[in-house]
Chains A and B, each alone.
Chain A
Amino acid sequence: MFDLQEVINDTKVRLCLDCGKCTAVCPVTRYDAEFNPRLVVQGALSQNGYGPVGETIWSCISCNMCMERCNYNVKFTDFIRYLRYKALVEGAEVQYNHGGTPQAIMHIMGRKDTKQNRLSWLPGDIKIDKHSDTAFFVGCAPYFDVLFSDLGVKTIEGTKGALALLNRAQIPFTLLPNERCCGRDLLVMGDIEGFLALARANLNEFKKRGIKNIITSCPEGYYTLKVDYPKFLENWDINVRHITEVIAPIVGTDQLVLGRLNQRVTYHDSCTLGRYSKVFDQPRHILNSIDGLEMVEMKDNREKALCCGASPWAFCGSVNKQIQKERLAQAAATGADILVTACPKCQIHLRCAQKDKESDDIHQIEIRDLSAFVAQSLLPQEVS
């Protein structure tokens, strides 16, 4: 499926100057000296692409901090994905977390004949326009709440918040009864077949309903639909936007008036919305438009934001935990009461670290979803 030479050319790994900046800034390396992005590249190249790669290829959390510093923008995360794909094809064993449940659910969703009951959370006061060619892509939110109910994540509140904002701004959209997971976690793991099954099923669903535009609040869904789907699918021509890109230009105008929240918050840039998609200003603009809200930046923000330590529900371990601890400490240092993030996975991973209530070096700052938080500020609407 992947041609090695094409991957090498596409990811530009031959241009690596061997300078080591990637390793110096990698959050995984900080806590696991055996993981060395530079060596992964050089090792693989050392035998014309067939060099030894070892077990460490599973440690990368795909945060793209390496690419931020690289002189030639070598596409390290794409290259690691290829190495993982090759390893899986050659029979490497995957260490699944959570009993492999997330992957199992994704594989089931990838089957063409899967039917889901995925809209039962929909509140009665959310207006849907069945004829709109714009769909709101919900993604895995309904499943996360079930899988991680012990964390109190309530991802679906984020979705409901986004829908409330769209309704208030009178932007029409429809919801799809049989959309699938975007497939990013399988893609990142190197399970390309699994990813393609989901992607094709999604495309089928979108085409069946005549969808031309997609809005989503999940950064990973956003990036995957916008950037990865066109690369892997033949006839993808759907315009994809993140909820913040839709809301930011109209916030503060007559179309969308936000209310007041007296809070001190800090905003966590998720890797896929931040470094991958370069959407930094829109979420901040939205937060700054809320009266009474004080937004304090963490030490590492925007392009330098520290990853939440995410994993694709596999190979997650103590290194991820260390990274999460560091991020929570940065949040606490701002003095903020709430950490706001646009990404449901960031919420899940950071809350997972917070499960440990005993350690005094894990900060128990409250974590909220951006859309849910902003929607909270909406004043009740007068019935006209």
Chain B
Amino acid sequence: MNSEELRIGVFVCDCGLNIAGSVDTEKVRESAEKLDGVVVSVRNKYTCADPGQEEIKRCIREYSLNRVVVASCTPRMHESTFRNCVAQAGLNPYLFEMASIREHCSWVHLHDREAATDKAKDIVKIAVSRARLLQPQEETKIPITDKALVIGGGVAGIQAALDLADAGHQVYLVEKAASVGGIMAQLDKTFPTMDCSICVLGPKMMDVGRHHQITLMTYSQIEAISGYVGNFTVRVRKKARYVDETVCNSCGRCAEVCPVVVPDEFQQGFSSRKAAYIPFPQAVPSSYLIDMEHCLGNSPITCGKCVDVCEKDCIDLNMQDELVDIDVGVIIVATGMDVYDPTALDEYGYTRFENVIATMEFERLICGGGPTEGKLVRPSDYQVPKRIGFIQCVGSRTEDKGYPYCSNVCCMNTIKDSLLINEHYPDTEVFVFYMDIRAYGKGFEDLYRRSKEEGVHYIRGLPGEVIEDPDTKNLIIRVENTTTCLVEEHELDMVVLSVGLKPSDDLKHLTGIINISQTADGFVMEAHPKLRPVDAPTPGIFFAGSVEAPKDIKDSVTQAGAAVARASILLNSGTVHGDAVKAVIDPEKCPSCGLCARVCPFGAIEVDVKAKTGARVIAAACAGCGACAAECRFEAITIQHFLDDQILAQINAALEEEPEKKIITFLCNWCSYAASDMAGISRMQYPPNNRFIRVMCSGRVDEHFILHAFKLGAPIVLLSGCHIGDCHYSSANHWTMKRADRLWNRMEKLGIRPERLQLEWISAAEGPRFAKIMHDIEDLRQKVTQEEIERTKEVLAVEKLTHLGSIEEPSVAS
């Protein structure tokens, strides 16, 4: 270690009566004084309050302390408070250690003062043993490129790009379609305001197109992304338009002469376009393009009419895709969602019956810019329908065909549609067949009320099937009106399936390129659903709009603003502070086996297995989980501030006296430690035999630590972490599970009963369960005989423990 003389100060907190009520804090203070390296041991009534903090600072100066231990509440509460406090006194904040003698001791052993006091003394001893080995750490500063990438040019992406640009940042907006606008550009009116959708969006689209801070890349896709927060390198493929968009003036002559006619996707296939086309009149960029898949060809023999008539000479049928590399500091993913295709729901007859259509088709039919210029006619005979039915929840809220979640916006969309129909065709009767009407937002209930006042029929019940009358092409719906409990039959001229929304198919492509994951329903996973709703778990990446979950325009725009605010924190600061808890690889010991890179949930390790240049940690991407350190078979990796030696020292201190009475429990910072705190706060009582060792992630726990504990005579070791799938570090606890399996096999071979190693997944909310586990595990401990323990010690004394070698029992450093 280093040769400085250790001068440790211990501060034992009464916390009023919270600790002093059940623990003899004076005895704890006395016992701390006797520990090696401790030069002063103080007792405070409220250490976190001003007088308490002042006392710490005073002692640091007076006693020239170079390590500080506070024995009080859980570090999850006040670790940063005290770190700041010691920093103010000039001590590196990472030389501070906290011992929880409240949530882990005084609150959970209210009725056995002697046992609680003994345990508190032990807890302080363990903390001091770690403190001896702490080293000062500097938080890394990573510079940030002041540029942003927004993927997706729907309303969320557009808003995010504009906000970022207006805030003074350089923005790249990449959109895969030939024009920005997304789904909103295809809607007729929006709820609850009944504005014209494209009229509202159009000006924003134009702003995006000409903002001097925004580089708009349409008809483009992301090919590859590498790097980490503040320093992403992105390769964009700009697909060939075969038209120079900077020159094209949208005169439209090319489309006039083009002989190829195909269905127009923008108009949902109700009308057609040419192979030379503009996506829609308000497209941004306002430029035509050639659909090369259907274009007759490049040579003068087949066609080329468009080239002949182009007055700007801007058609180049030999254009190639262009690859562009850009550097950005932050990425906002705003790729939107797709619409459910109800063909699979055969009972509703979509594609079998002409007059059964879906949501987006209805939008185009009723829209003034649509294939019928806003005249709502039905597909079979172009007559205006006199009776229209909307079927809700098509493809939503089902395990059968579709998706289990509620798609959020379809109720309001139908209510809006019902009012539109009523406005244009007051004689047309509208029926809405529903299970629930979800009108949760501002102005939503008002719109629902208006719709009912206008005479729209709301029938609570979903049709079992739709039947077509082969002569009239009318549709007959059989539905149970669950309010009257009678089955009704309705004959309708047209049926609109109010379809649900689903994750974009392109998301699979994106998750392969960038480190984002999907939740069970297929939308992207945010860092925390309540407290960090627009952050991706990977730093530097944010979400906006319906890529995260189906939502309406207002929520998309709100989320875009939120994502921009979060991204701006990074962009404005210019640097990002990395937590000091990082993996560190010793290049001398590393044989470049590649295992660490494989287990890292964040892709933060680079290694060239063939060139054998040694693994390298990308500090900015490293989250400090420790999975790499635990997996490495060559002892080449350790975690700063959670060194192997520090953990082993804690185990040594815990098992120094009467080891047969102690249970060593590893708690992961985010879940099981939080559960232990919750049990403490709830004053759940359990036996005082546990000694807790905090790690950031259960993945940090090396097999070596566990075997070392058994070697020193521990009867039971409990390894705990987050539930699988909920790991704070994404997938690190998968490795915990695998390691536990390996260790159980090994223990069996060594003649150690595998039940002596327990593995529990405990979530932060499971306080009561934590307490129960403490009871159960004490029962287990009492069944472990002294002979067993002694036999284990003998076996392990001669066995080479994994990662043993250079690491012996660490001596008290000095």
Contact check, B400 vs A20: say whether CB atoms are below 8 A apart: no
Contact partner of A25 (CB less than 8 A), chosen from B399, B464, B486, is B464
Complex CA distance for A308 and B524, rounded to whole angstroms: 48
Interface-located stretch among A66-74, A79-87, A207-215, A245-253:
A66-74
A225 within 8 A of B: no
Instruction: Determine how close the nearest CB of chain B comes to the CB of A68; give it in whole angstroms.
Output: 9
Interface-located stretch among A32-40, A266-274, A312-320, A345-353:
A32-40
> For residues 472 through 499 of chain B, which have their beta carbon under 8 Å from a beta carbon of chain A?
478-482, 485-487
Instruction: Determine how close the nearest CB of chain B comes to the CB of A39; give it in whole angstroms.
Output: 6
B397 within 8 A of A: yes
Residues of B within 8 A of A69 (CB): 347, 400, 464-465
Q: Can you name the residue of chain A whose Cβ is closest to the Cβ of B467?
A: A299
Contact partner of B435 (CB less than 8 A), chosen from A18, A24, A72, A304, is A18
Complex CA distance for A105 and B375, rounded to whole angstroms: 69
Q: Can you name the residue of chain B whose Cβ is closest to the Cβ of A18?
A: B482
> For residues 144 through 197 of chain A, which have their beta carbon under 8 Å from a beta carbon of chain B?
none
Most buried by A among B435, B460, B464, B486: B464
Complex CA distance for A69 and B393, rounded to whole angstroms: 13
Complex CA distance for A304 and B348, rounded to whole angstroms: 13
Contact check, B487 vs A21: say whether CB atoms are below 8 A apart: no
B682 within 8 A of A: no
Instruction: Determine how close the nearest CB of chain B comes to the CB of A299; give it in whole angstroms.
Output: 10
Do A39 and B435 contact each other (CB < 8 Å), given the known contacts A19-B461, A20-B479, A72-B398?
no
Contact check, B398 vs A71: say whether CB atoms are below 8 A apart: yes
Complex CA distance for A107 and B614, rounded to whole angstroms: 79
Instruction: Determine how close the nearest CB of chain B comes to the CB of A209; give it in whole angstroms.
Output: 42
Most buried by B among A22, A29, A71: A71
> For residues 446 through 473 of chain B, which have their beta carbon under 8 Å from a beta carbon of chain A?
460-465
Instruction: Determine how close the nearest CB of chain A comes to the CB of B293; give it in whole angstroms.
Output: 36
Contact check, A23 vs B480: say whether CB atoms are below 8 A apart: yes
Most buried by B among A24, A30, A71: A24
Complex CA distance for A22 and B464, rounded to whole angstroms: 7
Q: Can you name the residue of chain A whose Cβ is closest to the Cβ of B399?
A: A72
A17 within 8 A of B: yes
Contact check, B398 vs A36: say whether CB atoms are below 8 A apart: no
Complex CA distance for A229 and B91, rounded to whole angstroms: 74
> For residues 30 through 54 of chain A, which have their beta carbon under 8 Å from a beta carbon of chain B?
30, 33, 36, 38-39
> For residues 55 through 98 of chain A, which have their beta carbon under 8 Å from a beta carbon of chain B?
69-73
Instruction: Determine how close the nearest CB of chain A comes to the CB of B430; give it in whole angstroms.
Output: 20
Complex CA distance for A21 and B486, rounded to whole angstroms: 12
Residues of A within 8 A of B464 (CB): 20-25, 69
Contact check, A17 vs B478: say whether CB atoms are below 8 A apart: no
Residues of B within 8 A of A70 (CB): 400
Contact check, A23 vs B399: say whether CB atoms are below 8 A apart: no
Complex CA distance for A17 and B435, rounded to whole angstroms: 7
Complex CA distance for A301 and B742, rounded to whole angstroms: 54
Contact check, B400 vs A36: say whether CB atoms are below 8 A apart: no
Instruction: Determine how close the nearest CB of chain A comes to the CB of B502; give it in whole angstroms.
Output: 16
Contact check, A24 vs B347: say whether CB atoms are below 8 A apart: no
* Chain A residues bordering chain B, tally (CB within 8 A): 21
Instruction: Determine how close the nearest CB of chain A comes to the CB of B280; give it in whole angstroms.
Output: 36
Contact check, A24 vs B398: say whether CB atoms are below 8 A apart: no
Contact partner of B482 (CB less than 8 A), chosen from A19, A25, A30, A33, is A19
Instruction: Determine how close the nearest CB of chain A comes to the CB of B95; give it in whole angstroms.
Output: 55
Contact check, A38 vs B400: say whether CB atoms are below 8 A apart: no
Do A17 and B397 contact each other (CB < 8 Å), given the known contacts A23-B487, A25-B465?
yes
Contact check, A39 vs B485: say whether CB atoms are below 8 A apart: yes
Do A38 and B480 contact each other (CB < 8 Å), given the known contacts A18-B435, A25-B465?
yes
Residues of B within 8 A of A23 (CB): 464, 480, 487
Q: Can you name the residue of chain A whose Cβ is closest to the Cβ of B402?
A: A71
Instruction: Determine how close the nearest CB of chain A comes to the CB of B210; give it in whole angstroms.
Output: 48
Contact partner of A33 (CB less than 8 A), chosen from B399, B479, B487, is B487
Q: Can you name the residue of chain A whose Cβ is closest to the Cβ of B477?
A: A24
Complex CA distance for A204 and B400, rounded to whole angstroms: 39
Complex CA distance for A18 and B487, rounded to whole angstroms: 14
Interface range for B: 20 to 34
Instruction: Determine how close the nearest CB of chain A comes to the CB of B461; give it in whole angstroms.
Output: 4
> For residues 571 through 609 of chain B, which have their beta carbon under 8 Å from a beta carbon of chain A?
none
Residues of A within 8 A of B478 (CB): 24-25
Instruction: Determine how close the nearest CB of chain B comes to the CB of A360; give it in whole angstroms.
Output: 24
Contact check, B486 vs A20: say whether CB atoms are below 8 A apart: no
> For residues 655 through 677 of chain B, which have their beta carbon under 8 Å from a beta carbon of chain A?
none
Residues of A within 8 A of B482 (CB): 18-20, 38
CB 8 Å contact bits of A1-32 with B (1 = contact, 0 = none): 00000000000000001111111110001100
Instruction: Determine how close the nearest CB of chain B comes to the CB of A239; give it in whole angstroms.
Output: 29
Residues of A within 8 A of B465 (CB): 24-25, 69
Instruction: Determine how close the nearest CB of chain A comes to the CB of B399; give it in whole angstroms.
Output: 5
Contact check, B400 vs A24: say whether CB atoms are below 8 A apart: no
Residues of B within 8 A of A19 (CB): 393, 435, 461-462, 482
Residues of B within 8 A of A21 (CB): 462-464, 480
Residues of B within 8 A of A24 (CB): 461-465, 478-480, 487
Complex CA distance for A24 and B489, rounded to whole angstroms: 9
Complex CA distance for A105 and B485, rounded to whole angstroms: 40
Most buried by B among A18, A19, A33: A19
Residues of B within 8 A of A38 (CB): 480, 482
Instruction: Determine how close the nearest CB of chain B comes to the CB of A157; give it in whole angstroms.
Output: 36
Contact check, B480 vs A20: say whether CB atoms are below 8 A apart: yes
Complex CA distance for A22 and B393, rounded to whole angstroms: 16
Q: Can you name the residue of chain A whose Cβ is closest to the Cβ of B482?
A: A20
Contact check, A20 vs B399: say whether CB atoms are below 8 A apart: no
Residues of A within 8 A of B462 (CB): 19-21, 24
Complex CA distance for A36 and B482, rounded to whole angstroms: 10
Q: Can you name the residue of chain B whose Cβ is closest to the Cβ of A29?
A: B487
Residues of B within 8 A of A73 (CB): 399-400
Complex CA distance for A72 and B400, rounded to whole angstroms: 7
Contact check, A71 vs B485: say whether CB atoms are below 8 A apart: no
Q: Can you name the residue of chain B whose Cβ is closest to the Cβ of A72?
A: B399
Instruction: Determine how close the nearest CB of chain A comes to the CB of B406; give it in whole angstroms.
Output: 11
Residues of B within 8 A of A39 (CB): 485
Q: Can you name the residue of chain B whose Cβ is closest to the Cβ of A66?
A: B464
Complex CA distance for A186 and B479, rounded to whole angstroms: 33
Complex CA distance for A21 and B399, rounded to whole angstroms: 15
Complex CA distance for A25 and B478, rounded to whole angstroms: 8
Instruction: Determine how close the nearest CB of chain A comes to the CB of B546; give it in whole angstroms.
Output: 23
Complex CA distance for A168 and B481, rounded to whole angstroms: 55
> For residues 290 through 306 of chain A, which have their beta carbon under 8 Å from a beta carbon of chain B?
304
Contact check, B463 vs A71: say whether CB atoms are below 8 A apart: no
Q: Can you name the residue of chain A whose Cβ is closest to the Cβ of B398?
A: A71
Q: Can you name the residue of chain B whose Cβ is closest to the Cβ of A303?
A: B346
Residues of A within 8 A of B486 (CB): 33
Q: Can you name the residue of chain B whose Cβ is closest to the Cβ of A22?
A: B464
Residues of B within 8 A of A30 (CB): 487
Residues of A within 8 A of B347 (CB): 69, 304
Residues of A within 8 A of B400 (CB): 69-73
Instruction: Determine how close the nearest CB of chain A comes to the CB of B485; give it in whole angstroms.
Output: 6
Contact check, A36 vs B399: say whether CB atoms are below 8 A apart: no
Contact check, A36 vs B397: say whether CB atoms are below 8 A apart: no
Complex CA distance for A73 and B401, rounded to whole angstroms: 11
> For residues 386 through 404 of chain B, which have their beta carbon under 8 Å from a beta carbon of chain A?
393, 397-400
Residues of A within 8 A of B460 (CB): 20
Complex CA distance for A217 and B487, rounded to whole angstroms: 37
Q: Knowing that A17-B397, A20-B464, A70-B400 are A-B contacts, what are 15 other residue pairs whose CB atoms are under 8 Å apart, sorted by A's residue number?
A: A20-B461, A21-B480, A22-B464, A24-B463, A25-B464, A25-B478, A29-B480, A30-B487, A33-B486, A69-B465, A71-B398, A71-B399, A72-B399, A72-B400, A73-B400
A-B contact pairs, 12 of them (CB 8 A): A18-B435, A20-B461, A20-B464, A21-B464, A22-B464, A24-B464, A29-B487, A69-B465, A71-B397, A71-B399, A72-B398, A72-B399
Could you tell me which B residues sit within 8 Å of A by CB distance?
Answer: 347, 393, 397-400, 435, 460-465, 478-482, 485-487
Closest 8 interchain pairs by CB? Answer: A24-B464, A20-B480, A25-B464, A71-B398, A23-B480, A20-B461, A19-B462, A20-B482
